[in-house]
Homo-oligomer: A and B are copies of this chain.
């Protein structure tokens, strides 16, 4: 067991009951012993769903399934197992998904396309789906409305803390709740990190509106984090809306009455995404990188991620070294327009480079102090336009090598 991340929050937040959602974690013995490794969520009739998925071209069988199902826009059940990713398992993997879906659909009494599946853990090992289907009845008997903490724990792999967040928003003057759980860039030998996040709201919003809000929100949250630049076969983010809240139904994502909901949803997505980074393998520092002056927002994001993914930048941060030369290098390799001779860089609020040169005689003392802290703030202006972005990452430490370089067997 890996030690608790030094960046972990003090406690798991208190997630309120959310009308139309019942959930439970369960031990089904897929890989782990003595801990829950199965999550089941049952959703009220009329629940709408939206999703975003890994861009990996070698995505897992569950991702293939969810991509198809989410297009229909309705959800009644979510089944998630940890311990086996059901990825790179060929036709056997697809058959496993189909059996699990059929079993859950029968139990809940819904269409197969209303059942969502996610798996995280070992790759390339056939999923023993009978361990899931054999336990679905039992776990359904345990469903409760306040099982959020247990749910967050059931989807953990090598996460060192469960991840959750909640927000309350107003739609047309009526309160709605948004609850989310996530698992992060943990690692299951012999496999890769997987990010799963499930967000639930009682808002009454159709799938198309949800999809628009989610796709937009993910662009400034989950798509702005990185631990090591590697892309899981299984990344899945689903947003379910049970429609139980008592506000006027809204059919247009541009409706002004959604402003507060959008803000709170985005805030919750950022919160969950940051928790994933804070549980990054071996992380000892949380790093926020703001890029301004880029040709556009996506150029800014790409520059930010080039900095955030640079092993040289990340090891310098681990070493508490305000090594802005490596930031210049990372800007240069991003492939996006930047004006070398107008580039400026601030670390911890102190401008260390301006107009493409070091600021002569800048005070190193506050910068050095900042680098010794756990929250590192870097700002870069690339001097060509008005595009901006914020991305988050963690440092690259010996513990990352320890975790990922250990023998598989």
A133 beta carbon closer than 8 Å to chain B: no
A57 touches which of B57, B319, B335, B405 (Cβ 8 Å): B335
Instruction: Say yes or no: A357 contacts B57, CB within 8 Å.
Output: no
The docked-state distance in angstroms from the alpha carbon of A122 to that of B230 is 30
Contact indicator A58/B404 (Cβ below 8 Å): no
Quick one: given A90-B356, A312-B192, A328-B88, are A333 and B56 in contact (CB under 8 Å)?
yes
A329 touches which of B231, B312, B325 (Cβ 8 Å): B231
Distance, CA A396 to CA B140, complexed state (A):
45
Most chain B beta-carbon neighbours within 10 Å: one of A323, A332, A341: A332
* CB contact under 8 A between A358 and B328, given known A56-B333, A340-B88, A396-B401: no
Report the nearest B residue to A406, measured CB to CB.
Answer: B319
Given that A230-B311, A311-B229 are known contacts, is A407 also in contact with B331, CB under 8 Å in the complex?
A: no
A330 neighbours in B (Cβ, 8 Å): 230
Interface size on A, residues (CB 8 A): 72
Specify the chain B residue showing the minimal Cβ separation from A368: B409
The answer to whether A328 and B404 touch (CB under 8 A), given A356-B90, A358-B88, is no
Interface residue A232 (Cβ < 8 Å from any Cβ of B)? yes
CB distance from A66 to the nearest CB of B (A): 16
A257 within 8 A of B: no
Q: Contacts of A357 on B, CB cut-off 8 Å?
A: 88-90, 92, 124
Could you say which residues of chain B place their CB within 8 Å of the CB of A405?
315-316, 318-319, 321, 396-397
| Measured CA separation A230–B325 after assembly (Å) | 12
Do residues A192 and B325 form an inter-chain contact, with CB atoms below 8 A? yes
Binary contact readout A76-109 vs B (1 if CB under 8 angstroms, 0 otherwise): 0000000000011111100000000000000000
The listed residue (B59, B229, B401) touching A340 by CB distance below 8 A is: B59
Q: In the bound complex, do residue A333 and residue B230 qualify as a contact, i.e. CB atoms below 8 Å apart?
A: yes
Residues of chain B lying within 8 A (CB to CB) of residue A192: 312, 325-326, 329
A26 to B187, CA, bound (A): 50
Q: How far is the CA of A231 from the CA of B89 in the complex (A)?
A: 36
Hey, which chain B residues are within 8 Å of A58, CB to CB? 328-329, 331-332, 338, 340, 343
Shortest Cβ distance from residue A190 to the other chain B in the assembled complex, whole angstroms? 5
In the complex the two chains form, what is the Cα distance from A55 to B355 in whole Å? Answer: 21
Q: Given A311-B311, A311-B400, verify A233-B332 contact (CB < 8 Å).
A: yes
Determine if A190 and B323 form an interchain contact, defined as CB atoms under 8 angstroms apart.
yes
The 5 nearest A-B residue pairs measured at CB: A58-B332, A56-B332, A319-B405, A231-B333, A123-B325
